[in-house]
Structure 1
């Protein structure tokens, strides 16, 4: 294995580890958000206006995250294919492009999950 190939493999592994850590963090924050949101949503089901607003906010956030994520992954996929088409063979880093596409796909969800966990955590105090 050449020095360049070893360096490429190490960089790709580091990118994948960073992406995995972000996904794990997002999962933890999502669990906290769900746990903190359930009592509020339950009260909303019983007619509480704050709970109903929280339910509407949750749905709107998810729809907007899906739309934003769709645009981001479309842009990353286009950049991937253009990079593949315009770069000489062996000069395009496919693994980096795939990690970038995956990262851009989860970023809208991660950002909202992080914000909700922080916001709901402040409400409980």
Structure 2
């Protein structure tokens, strides 16, 4: 029987990936909450006719659309790379938890990048 070129990873590696993913989600949620809180007064002024608020609303919508597109492409690319790896080396040991964490990280990256930048911009803090 042919041996695998990949060495089995301990369960701790998958746990580390899960912790990193959870930390990223917490940071993303904190930055998103800060962005929403800082944007609400600006968007309210935009609803009342302020041009800065209207530009901020348009910017928010376009950022979300581009993040969704970029996230979809990243998720597709990660999934394709996984399946190509399985197809080209079918005897390899596959850690599905690690691969799922990689997929989730690549999917979240466009959103976390934008929310981090928006929170920094709106609060005036340095990145």
TM-score by length of 1: 0.89
Within-5 A mapping of 1:1-125: 8-122=10-124
Structure 1 residue runs of 5 or longer lacking an equivalent are none
Structure 2 residue runs of 5 or longer lacking an equivalent are 1-6
Query: Which ranges of 4 or more aligned residues in structure 1 deviate by more than 6 Å?
Result: none
Q: Bigger shift: 95-104 or 34-43? A: 95-104
Q: Could you tell me whether the CA contact under 8 Å between 2:86 and 2:92 is conserved in 1? A: no
Q: Distance in 2 between matches of 1:89 and 1:99?
A: 21
| Residue number in structure 1 paired with 2:4 | none
Which structure's residues are more often helix, by fraction? 1
TM-score by length of 2: 0.88
Give 3-state SS (helix, strand or coil) of 1:99's partner: helix
